[in-house]
Amino acid sequence: MVKKAVIAAVVIIAAVIVAAGAYVALSGNGKDPNDVTFLIQDDKGVYFWAEGNGETALDALEDALSDYPDGTIVKSSNGGVTIFDLSSSQDSKGNWIWWIQFTWEDDRWIFNMKGLDSIMSKDVDYELILFGSGNMDDPEATEVPQGTPVPKDKAVWDGSTNGTVFTIQSESGLYFKINGTGGDTLLETFGNACGKYKVQVETAESSMGKYLVGIFGIGSSQDSAGNWMYWAEYEYKSGAWESSNMGMDGLKSSDNPQYALMFGDGSGVPA
């Protein structure tokens, strides 16, 4: 009787395992239907990938940004959002820009007129959250900027602090982190990090050595007032960011577990 009971128990356990396996297969290898991968991009062309979970796309986006400080994302009463202090406004040409979204369908980003709180996470896998202009009169005419990544380019930072953690902050205020390992100098390690997370980076060489030219196709330039705008570099010392005068090629990765690059006139400090 004992042997029969043991055999019966084994059969039941096996059946449960098979059933669980069948469920995993049917549900997409165990993927939670409320998981959403976001591509968040500002009007300067700076972007990063993030993943979140929630009943609606807005819930999932809040979850994706949950490691950021309070206030990074703020919901409005009309269903809109403010992210990185970027909200509906007019650009220098008088065009309205706001956070609009595109859903990945049929191998392309398609403008989605629904509010994030009206999009159910189970209905989407990838959402582009873009601070830009949308054509409300002709949605089909609303296009993403040239060079905008697609899901096959996805590279989400997993929070790893191995090597050096780099903070990259756009002129708009949008920022994110990536980490890199390998390389004796910070410039080498930064190149490795950008390769891993598919961040566009450009370097050049001179008689003084190798140096950073641009990130996301954004390099040094002058604004309308003649002020120079560039990727200012910062070392993290005694719990605070300090402007670096050495440049990444002159600093050892082993001495810098954190480093930041912020596009602007060099007067501010990273978030």
Domain span including residue 59: 35-147
Domain limit, last residue, from 147, 178, 196 = 147
Residue whose C-alpha is closest to residue 125's, from 107, 108, 103: 103
Mean pLDDT of 86-91: 87
Q: Given phi > 0 = left and psi -120 to 50 = alpha, else beta, which region is 96?
A: beta
pLDDT band at residue 89 using 50, 70 and 90 as cut-offs: confident
pLDDT digits (tens, 9 = 90+) for 200-220: 999 998 877 789 999 999 999
Distance from chain centroid for Cα 39: 6
Looking up residue 182, the CATH number of its domain turns out to be 2.170.130.30
**pTM of the full predicted structure?**
0.86
| pLDDT at residue 7 in the model | 42
Instruction: Tell me, yes or no, whether 233 lies in a domain.
Output: yes
Q: Residues 56, 62: contact at Cβ < 8 Å?
A: no
Q: Does one domain contain both 143 and 236?
A: no
Nearest to 36 by CA among 118, 101, 122, 108: 122
> What is the SS3 assignment for 266?
coil
Is the dihedral angle over the CA atoms 100, 230, 167, 67 positive or is it negative?
Answer: negative
Quote the percentage of the chain above a pLDDT of 90: 72
Asked if 46 contacts 38 with a C-beta cutoff of 8 angstroms, the reply is no
Structure confidence at residue 30 as a pLDDT band (50, 70, 90): low
Q: What is the pLDDT of residue 20?
A: 39
| Domain match, 135 and 203 both | no
H/E element, 108:
strand 108-112
Instruction: Assess whether 49 and 138 both reside in one domain.
Output: yes
What's the rounded mean pLDDT across residues 4-14? 41
